[in-house]
Structure 1
Amino acid sequence: MPTSVCNKTVYLTFDTGNMAMAETIAAILQRQQVQATFFVANEKTSRGDFSLDDSWRSYWQKLAQAGHHFGSHTYDHLYFQGDGKAGFVRLKPQFGADAGIGKWYDAPALCAELKRVDGRFHDLTGRHLEPIWRAPGGRTSARLIALAEQCGFQHIAWSRAGFLGDELDSARFPNAVLLEQASRNIQDGDIAMAHLGIWSRKEAWAPAVLEPLIDNLKQRGFCFATLPVMTAKSLPLKP
């Protein structure tokens, strides 16, 4: 049985992805009485709609009512491509009207994209995001992070040991291996990251890994916490 006493903390986080495991993950978190932080983008889902469509309203409402935290993952899932002239970064939307087209963003344009998620999430749930965000793919630069900070959004990456591997090839990284690595390597204060569903993985990650991982970490004395707003210097960066 999991220990009832904890002396370490782990921050469990999820990016939207294709949402195929969204209901499974929500049920596991509820059953385990664990709260997490979700980074939300309007991504295409495995059922053909988008993750911020009205069809997902009840899902986000239930998570919000359960006390989970939420940050921006950029509305159209913008991938960082590089810095440009002073004050500009190049980002490529994965979805939306300009999908696949790299564009230059200054601070106001980036902030509008981050806040667009907040506006839509508030429409769906009546709740605003925490002033935090995560860049798709973890791709950043010092300038990109600084531009977002101009409108109050702090970037949250993940810890090296917290990369849970749900986007890796199933044949090379089977669930049993991912579970063993995370159960052993996660340390106090680590930020863990997975998705609510991922297109690239054939072996479903969440049913086989998430709940036993939570059990294993509880056995090691971990509590699970939502992410507070932290200074950029305190955040682990993706290697």
Structure 2
Amino acid sequence: MTTFVRATAALTGRSLTHVRRSPDTIITTALTPVAMMLLFVYVFGSAIQTPSPGRYVDYLLPGILLMTVASSIAYTAYRLFMDVDGGIFERFRSLPIARSALLWSHVLTSVVATSVALALVVLVAVVMGFRSGAGPLAWLAVAGILLLFTLALTWLALVPGLLATSADAVSGFAFPLIFLPFVSSAFVPTDGMPTPVRWFAEHQPVTPIVEAMRSLYAEQPAGSDLTLAVTWCLGLLLVAYLLAMRTYRRRFG
């Protein structure tokens, strides 16, 4: 365990150094969600009726935060692909270190980089008028949900990072995840959607996660939405972790 922790810390420091030297990746990660937030608040916001009173940016922010996470993990997959394609991954594997430390270093780097991008998005939302009277426990609950969601998508991102044969292929896998919030309650209530679309929107993970975060920000009981959100995140995390580890073992033995 000591060897694993030391190796993970050293490799994570290496990955964070790359991120620190290329801060444009974090800015780019936050750019698309911020642009979407500006577009929907200032162009479409006045035409969208939400079930709860308040500013549209308050309703919109949880979905934008999930988009930020999905944007960030594309860079995680890309960084892992570059390590594998450049041969550095094989060099690390030849060292007397825990092999899982190679993957965990990318996961922890993703968590740190994504947290910075999320903070930038929240800061822009506050400038746009977002306000919440939620207490520390509610904010910690939101942070916990975002952490679980980030971990789940990050482990999922390791699979294309290990399997991709080109940088273009690995960069494109995250696009469906980025646009998944559009078919949920993130931007508009699901009531007005066609029946098949509404069914999908109400039974995919983004909707309960968004609704739980929205309730926590509004100082309302999250109830079953919070339970569903945590269940979805933990389930996705477990599946993504097992899939990533299996892919790693099948490729590298």
Length-normalised TM-score, structure 2 = 0.31
Higher relative contact order by CA 8 Å / sep ≥ 6: 1 or 2? Answer: 1
Point out the structure with the larger strand share. 1
Structure with higher helix content: 2
Which one has the largest radius of gyration?
2
Structure 1 length normalisation: TM-score? 0.32
